[in-house]
Structure formats: structure tokens, C-alpha cells
Amino acid sequence: VLPDQLPLTLGHEFAGHVVAIGDGVEGLTVGDAVAVEPEMRDNTCDECQKGHYNLCTNLRILGVMADGGGLAEYAVVPAYTIHRLPQGISTDIGALIEPIAVGWHAVRRAQARLGQTALVVGAGPIGLVTLLALKTAGLRWIAVSEVATARKRMAEQLGANVVLDPREVDVIAEVKKLTGGTGVDVAFDAAGFPGSLQTALRALRSNGTVVNIAVPHGPIELSVTDLMAGQKQVTASSAYAGDHPGIIAALVDGRLDPSSLITSRIALEDAVQGGFEELIAHADQQVKILIHP
């Protein structure tokens, strides 16, 4: 992930109000509250044509690789990146749609559905949004594996049925026991540590699916014997495509309430100390720090 050019304005999780509209843009009004889906794409390549624009050969994330991110009073974005927020959905919540979409897409990749069971390995921001997406999808039982106290508490607060600490219990054995010996239908590696994908794989039932959503620090060991024996599937999820409308619908009808992900609110001028440095120093206690320009 390399920026097109430096310096660039950071911020890929953002929402705001429309102040000006370009020529030929329809369906927007000045004053509309909107969330930005920051995947800048060509809209013409094979993957874009199929709707898999997260896999666009020319994908650039606004505020990461492409200049013009959300840490500013104003941002200019292509109209196709805009999602209008219905009445009652604040821009604070709108700014959470991007991170939620990462978990939402992973849950769709797993084809997780009503009544199933799941394990999420890791309760950092990505693990937590995956948990939220699984709750919204109506899974009946969700286990989370995590070591940090504050994150364990947050996972419980967001509705995990059980939070397991791998330093205290054998996560695989415990998940098997709590699912009547079968293992979970779907599992997610949101940790990316050596062994976490393997834990997710072994906690699965036969024919189950494990989705990698972590960015691991190096090669990951995985037992093909475990994969083969239960005829399991390992897949991956990268960012999101076509997920924002479903999330907005769930926010509107109340199935999804992500407000507790916001652990702090600061002004743009405090972004370095109260935002970046705070996240580095207290990564286990902060989830999303909202910055108001």
C-alpha cells in the first residue's frame, strides 16, 4: 500500500455534509448527510464490471493511497463513492460505516447466516466489527478469542456469547465443548498472529468456512491435513464492495447499533496527540476515535 504522492490528506473512514455538487451529479442535495466509501476505482475493469470493485486493478483508497481524505474540513470525492445517510443517522455513525463494511464483507464471504455459530479470533477494531456484523446477521452463538482486558470487555458489551482468553483456556477445545462437540459453522481470523488462522480452522465444524481478514506480519502456517479431514474451506476477505447499502438499512431499522465503537471524540487540531499517539499508547482501550474538523 503505497501513496500516489506525498504529502496527502489522511482519513478513509469519514462522513460529512454535502456543500457543493459537480455538474451532472444527480440524486444529491446540498446539506445531505453522506458517508464516503473510499474505494477509488476505474469502474471499467473486469472486476469492477462484476461488482467486485474492491479487487479493481486500479484500486486506490482515498486517504490512504489517494489524496483527499477525511481529516480536513472539506473533501472532494467522486459521486460514486457517496452514500446518502437517511434521516436519523448522524455523520458520527456514518463515519463508522467504512470499518463496519470490512466485517460485513467478511461475514458475507463466509456465507454466515441466521442460526449459525461463529468464532472470531482477535477483538481489535476488525474483530469487533465482524462480531457486530455476525450479530446483525442473526447468528445464534458467537465466541471471541482475545487476551486484552479492555477488548474482552468490549466484545462482551457488543454481544459475544462467550469471550475466551487463549492464555487461560484451550480455545479450540472450549469452542468444541460449547458447540456440542461439532465446532463452529464459520470462523474469522482477525488477529493475524502465528497460529491464529490455524486455531480458527481447527475450531470449525466439518464443511465449515474460515475467513482471513487480518493482515499477517509474515507467512502463516496452516495444516492441510486439518483442512482436508473436515472438508473445510479457507478463504479471505479484502475490504468491501456493495456492503454499504445493507449496513445503512440495518442502521435504519435498528438491527445494528455501532455507537459504542466510538471510544473518544476530539477536534482535528488534537488529531496527533489525542488521536494517533493515543491509539499507539492505548491500542487495547481505544477502538474508534472520532475526529471533528
Residue numbers at the binding site for Zn ion (CB under 5 A): 41-42, 45, 48, 56
Contact 224, 200 (CB under 8 A): no
Nearer to Zn ion by Cβ, of 46 and 277: the residue is 46
Quote the least distance from Cβ 33 to Zn ion, whole Å. Answer: 28
Nearer to Zn ion by Cβ, of 52 and 153: the residue is 52
Quote the least distance from Cβ 9 to Zn ion, whole Å. Answer: 23
Nearer to Zn ion by Cβ, of 41 and 176: the residue is 41
Contact 66, 8 (CB under 8 A): yes
Q: How far apart are CA 197 and CA 121, in angstroms?
A: 8
Quote the least distance from Cβ 12 to Zn ion, whole Å. Answer: 18
Q: How far apart are CA 224 and CA 214, in angstroms?
A: 20
What does the block give as the cell for 226?
Answer: 486439518
Nearer to Zn ion by Cβ, of 101 and 123: the residue is 101
Q: What are phi and psi of 74, to 5 degrees?
A: -130, 150
Residue 271 gets which letter from DSSP?
I
Q: How far apart are CA 33 and CA 18, in angstroms?
A: 7
Quote the least distance from Cβ 111 to Zn ion, whole Å. Answer: 24
Q: How far apart are CA 274 and CA 270, in angstroms?
A: 5
Nearer to Zn ion by Cβ, of 55 and 227: the residue is 55
Contact 76, 26 (CB under 8 A): no
Q: b vs e for 87-114, b when ≥16 Cβ sit within 10 Å of the residue's Cβ?
A: eebebebbbbbbbbbbbbbbbbbbebee
What does the block give as the cell for 93?
Answer: 455513525
Quote the least distance from Cβ 13 to Zn ion, whole Å. Answer: 22
Nearer to Zn ion by Cβ, of 42 and 165: the residue is 42
What does the block give as the cell for 271?
Answer: 488529531
